[in-house]
Amino acid sequence: MSEILKVDGLVKRYKELIALDHFSMSVNEGEIFGLLGPNGSGKSTCINCVLSLLEYDKGTITIFGKEMSPKAYDIKSKIGIVPQEVAVYEALTVYENIDFFCGLYIKDKATRAKYVQEAIDFVALNDFVKFKPKKLSGGLKRRLNIACGIAHKPKLIFFDEPTVAVDPQSRNKILEGIEQLRAQGATIVYTSHYMEEVEQLCDRVLIIDKGTTIAEGTIDQLKSMIKKSEIITIETAGLDENTIAAIKDLPSVYSADYDGHVLKVEAGSGKHNVIDIVNILQDKGYKMKKIFSEQPTLNDVFLELTGKSLRDE
Amino acid sequence: MFKYYLLKVLRNKIYLFWCLVFPLGIMACMNAAFGNIYNIENSIDPVKTIVVAESDSAYAEGFCDLVDEFADESAETKYFDMVEADGRKDAMEILKDGGAEVLFVAGDSDIEVCLSESHTETAGMVAKTVADTYRSNFKLISEAYMTSPEKAQEMIENLASRKTFTEVDMGAFSDDPNPYVWYFYSTLVMGLFFTAMSGVNLVGDLKADVSEEAARLSLSPSSKSKMIWYAFIARLIPSVIISVIHLAFMRLVFQISLGSNVFRLILFVVVCNIFAISFGVICGLLFKGSVNTRGNKTTGVLMVSVFLSGEMVMQLPGIIEKYCPIVNDINPATVMNMAFYRMALYNDPFDFYMNMGKLVIAAVVFLTIGVLVLRREKYASV
């Protein structure tokens, strides 16, 4: 797979604040690349620098093998952007909005009409083409936002949190659409706060925090980077302190919380974590109702790598 | 693309309200409230008048000539229908019988005005005004002859061309404007100047650090300069059409004089609209915040400018001219107002072109700055 986007040593400062600190990333052709990070971590700054909308202090950005610049119109013509905010004109109808933004890229009227219709079909807005955006629900607006970004059939598409504030049905439709775009040959850069979406969609993920890369790789590679590899939940009553201490003493266990009914144990990579804990409980004569074991999610990976403290915008 | 820029403007209800409907509403209200008074002022029926000269003096002769002038059939404003009489006694009889409403008796140094019992208010007002004006003008000229004959000659020439006698040049504000016409013109200029709001919206449409839509445009391969001109012309065309609608209403519905020079009228409308949009662009660039915030701040500037131009208090530009004339020179609404007033009522090309020149220079400067800033595609922050 060839490299379609390469960012190398990007530095962006806002006065004293360093938004991007020698940040690097690369995206391969045909993949869905997830860019994750807490609020203010530098995701949007990174995308805006890549798109040549933001000035940066240092670094190089190469797209389709050419250096990106504001005047690189040949590169821009192959890029689509679906911004976080719905960026459409309230005065124009659904059809007019898509036609307007497609027209910025496609000058031939016949081709444009075909592309616009395909985009409308793609986001399933056929029944709303004459509606003004203010008449659309949140989910439909999001779909319009997507149609405006992809109507010109770009090869590289940036989705910046496209599913914020949409209902599950619309979200599902959007995610299916993104898969479909990839199947049609587009390369996707996807940012979201919804970990399950990223886990479902992305081939590779980069976690960014404070302007630097925290981790990068496939979902499995990321999961293997954290201490926690298994979460064991056991419903049991009346555990004493000694029993809990005995569980905590197991070599692969690094935390055990008990609320009087449910024991939750976080364990590292060990072959017999569940058996070891169950043996302790059985030895002490405790009865167990439910026992289950879960693998860590991307959310666990994200929280462990970026910390649990609250972040501001 | 241009089609959509145009559609966006035409579907902007706020813009259409403030630039088209609001000024028309004000004009309609003014017409309903004061239209009758204006019509009376402008349609005085000639008053049946007798002039008796009881002296051969220059004073009496001059007055008879003046009344004859106002009785001339070919005159633009005919105030008098002359009635012949053989001396004061005969004239008094005719006046008594209702054959005439006004009798002027011109003596050596004064004018006596007699009115019939059944005289109208208009007849009384016209007679008094003509006599008073003659008395004061004659006095001024006589005094001037005593001190400076050249000055007196100049005053007579000025009187012939109906210019003012003020010795100090008050510029554009020396005349006492007709309040009714003035407020119509001010309202026209107000509507025209409100077009500046579309200039602010233009900034919102094209500056990537102001709106997401503009960011989307900046990311496209389309030429930014082309977009700026499309957006500008798409705002200029509806604005000019709106101004033409206002002018058509003023002339055809409200019967307001717009002067006779169509070329200057078109020039005025186009130049003022270009200026107003470019002024809005500059305000949109100077103020910070969202498009709405920038729009609100610009509205404040427009309101102050329109107020200072005399939209609410007609005498204000004159007062400003007396104490701080620079404000009138740099206040766009005043400059537009005065250009229109001088063009339509006084057919004064020098003053008109001077004011147009100011607006053209300002528009060129504003547009140059606007284009240079707006065609930028990369920002320090978005």
For the stretch B315-360, pLDDT in tens is 888 889 889 989 998 999 999 988 888 787 766 688 888 889 999 9
- CB nearest A14 (choices: B4, B219, B381): B381
For the stretch A105-128, pLDDT in tens is 999 999 999 999 999 999 999 999
Please give the pLDDT value at position B160: 54
The two tokens of residue A224 are 């293997």
H or E segment at B46? none
| ipTM for the predicted complex | 0.81
Using a CB-CB cut-off of 8 Å, the residues of chain A touching B217 are 104
Is the model more confident about A229 or about B267?
B267
Cα–Cα distance, A189 to A32 (Å, whole number): 6
Q: Which residue of B has its CA nearest to A70?
A: B377
- CB nearest A53 (choices: B8, B211, B378): B378
For the stretch A41-67, pLDDT in tens is 899 899 999 999 999 999 999 999 999
- Chain-chain contact of A54 with B382 (C-beta, under 8 angstroms): yes
In this structure, chain B runs to a length of 382
- Chain-chain contact of A77 with B221 (C-beta, under 8 angstroms): yes
Place of tokens 């501001």: A312
CB atoms near residue B6 (< 10 Å): 17
Measured CA to CA in angstroms, residue A203 lies from A33, A35, A44, A229 at distances of 6, 11, 20, 20
- Chain-chain contact of A100 with B215 (C-beta, under 8 angstroms): no
Read off the pLDDT band of B157 (50, 70, 90).
Answer: low
Is the model more confident about A200 or about B145?
A200
CB atoms near residue B7 (< 10 Å): 17
Closest CA to A27 of A52, A50, A44: A50
A7-15 average pLDDT score: 94
Closest CA to B232 of B209, B208, B210, B201: B201
DSSP letter assigned to residue A34? E
- Torsion (CA) B188, B193, B197, B203 in degrees, nearest 10: 140
Cut 0.90: pTM above it: no
Residue A313 clears pLDDT 60, i.e. is over it: no
- Chain-chain contact of B380 with A54 (C-beta, under 8 angstroms): yes
Residue B213 clears pLDDT 80, i.e. is over it: yes
% of chain A residues with pLDDT over 70:
98
Please give the pLDDT value at position B169: 37
% of chain B residues with pLDDT over 70:
88
- CB nearest B7 (choices: A51, A86, A92): A92
Residue B380 clears pLDDT 60, i.e. is over it: yes
Closest CA to B351 of B342, B360, B359: B342
Using a CB-CB cut-off of 8 Å, the residues of chain A touching B2 are none
Cα–Cα distance, B365 to B382 (Å, whole number): 26
Transcribe A177-219 into DSSP letters.
HHHHHHHTT-EEEEE-S-HHHHHHH-SEEEEEETTEEEEEE-H
The distance in angstroms from the start CA to the end CA of chain A is 35
B17-29 average pLDDT score: 94
Using a CB-CB cut-off of 8 Å, the residues of chain A touching B218 are 53, 70
- Chain-chain contact of B221 with A54 (C-beta, under 8 angstroms): no
CB atoms near residue B67 (< 10 Å): 22
- CB nearest A91 (choices: B11, B215, B222): B11
Cα–Cα distance, A269 to A265 (Å, whole number): 13
The two tokens of residue A271 are 């072959």
- Chain-chain contact of B213 with A88 (C-beta, under 8 angstroms): yes
Residue B133 clears pLDDT 90, i.e. is over it: no
Q: Which residues of chain A have a Cβ shorter than 8 Å from any chain B Cβ?
A: 14, 48, 51-55, 70-71, 73-74, 76-77, 79, 81, 83, 85-89, 91-92, 96, 99-101, 103-105, 148-149
Cα–Cα distance, B70 to B313 (Å, whole number): 33
Q: Which residue of B has its CA nearest to A96?
A: B4
Cα–Cα distance, A244 to A257 (Å, whole number): 8
Cα–Cα distance, A226 to A222 (Å, whole number): 7
Place of tokens 């070329």: B263
For the stretch B162-197, pLDDT in tens is 443 333 333 444 445 567 888 888 999 999 999 999
Is residue B88 classed as helix, strand or coil in its secondary structure? helix
Transcribe B59-79 into DSSP letters.
HHHHHHHHHHHHH-TTSSS--
- Chain-chain contact of B377 with A74 (C-beta, under 8 angstroms): no
Read off the pLDDT band of A37 (50, 70, 90).
Answer: confident
- What average pLDDT does the structure give for chain A? 91
A168 Cα to chain B: minimum distance (Å): 25
